Each structure stands twice: as C-alpha cells, then as structure tokens.
C-alpha cells in the first residue's frame, strides 16, 4: 500500500485545481493584508460635547439637540454615517439619542454632528436636586460613531465637569468691569 501512495502522480485536472487553489489563497491573503494595513494606519477621531440645546418639552418628555464635535487626526477625510450616545449627569443616565445624518470631517479638521436626545421629567427632577446640592455637574457622554468604509463603529467616552460657581464668578467679573 505504501508503494501505491508513493507512486501516485497527479493528473492534469487535479494539478490545475491545486494551482488554482494556491493562487486563490494567495490573492485572498494579499487582499486581507491590504485591508488590515489600511485600517491600522487610521487613528480614531476624538469627540467632545460642544453644545446642548432644548428643542421642545412636554410634561413627560423633553428633547435636546446635542452637538458632538468630531476631530479627524488623519490625512484622509472621514464620512460619518451616524452616531448613538447616552449622556449621564452626576452618574445617572440623563438622555439618550441617535443621529442618522451623514457628515464629512475633513482631513486634519473637525465638524459638529448634531443629534436629538430624549429625556424624561423624572430624570430632570433627579438632576435638579443633585445640582442644587453640589453646585457642579459631572457629565459623561458615551456612544458609538459609524464611519463609512469601516466595518465596525468606533466607541467614544468623554467625561467632564461644569462648575456653576466658576461661571457665577466669571459673570460677576464681567459685570464689574
């Protein structure tokens, strides 16, 4: 039996299949390496909260327009397909929203992506009580942003603090001068 296996020689059809399989595997490997290299060179954009504006309000629901500044540190423009975010205030979820608007972020530039966020009266009342006690607001904005031509969305997580006492002191200095 060993001699039979050693004396086996491929036929013309099986040789062709072996070569086609080898070429196909090589092309696939080159294509995957090229895609991986293209994504590896890109740096993720940075995102910051740029604005918060009240759109409308009912007794049970309030809608805000959140502005998210997207800064592109890459040498190629980015096309944003959409974003989703949750805004926490003082450690409590305050509002959540999405945007399906497309936006173009130029290379080494920035733009503001607006999206609508919704909250409830109960969440606002919770926050008003916390703000009266602390005099400042800690916020955290978390979510995902979808970029065209990228197979996955990019997560973001921004934290900050607004100190109302600093704003009051700044306003007093402006009024005195």
Q: What is the per-residue pLDDT across 55-77, written as a single tens digit (0 to 9) for each?
A: 998 888 999 898 889 999 999 99
The pLDDT, as a whole number, for residue 37 is 47
CA distance 46 to 110: 9
Which burial class, exposed, middle or buried, applies to 47 when counting CB atoms under 10 A from its CB (0-12, 13-18, 19+)? buried
The separation between the first and the last C-alpha atoms of the chain, rounded to the nearest angstrom, is 103
Q: What 3-state class would DSSP assign to 96?
A: strand
- The stretch 22-46 carries a mean pLDDT of 66
Phi and psi at residue 148, in whole multiples of 5°?
A: -60, 145
Of 116, 123, 50, the residue nearest 92 (C-alpha) = 123
H or E stretch at 35: helix 12-41
The pLDDT, as a whole number, for residue 171 is 55
Residue 151 structure tokens: 């197979």
Phi and psi at residue 132, in whole multiples of 5°?
A: -65, -35
39 or 130, higher pLDDT: 130
Q: Does residue 132 carry a pLDDT above 70?
A: no
Q: Does residue 46 carry a pLDDT above 50?
A: yes
CA distance 140 to 28: 42
């Amino acid at each position: 039996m060993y001699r039979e296996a050693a004396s086996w020689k491929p036929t013309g059809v099986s040789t062709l299949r072996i070569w086609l399989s080898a070429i196909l595997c090589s092309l696939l490997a080159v294509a995957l390496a090229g895609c991986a290299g293209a994504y590896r060179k890109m740096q993720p954009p940075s995102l910051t909260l740029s604005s918060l504006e009240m759109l409308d309000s009912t007794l049970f629901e309030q809608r805000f327009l959140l502005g998210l500044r997207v800064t592109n540190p890459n040498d190629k423009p980015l096309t944003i397909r959409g974003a989703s975010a949750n805004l926490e205030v003082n450690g409590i979820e305050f509002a959540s929203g999405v945007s399906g608007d497309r936006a173009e972020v130029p290379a080494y530039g920035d733009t503001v992506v607006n999206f609508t966020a919704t909250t409830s009266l109960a969440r606002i009342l919770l926050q008003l009580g916390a703000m009266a006690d602390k005099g400042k607001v800690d916020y955290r904005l978390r979510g995902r942003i979808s970029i065209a031509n990228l197979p996955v969305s990019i997560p973001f997580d921004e934290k900050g603090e607004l100190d109302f006492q600093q704003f009051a002191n700044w306003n007093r200095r402006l009024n005195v001068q």
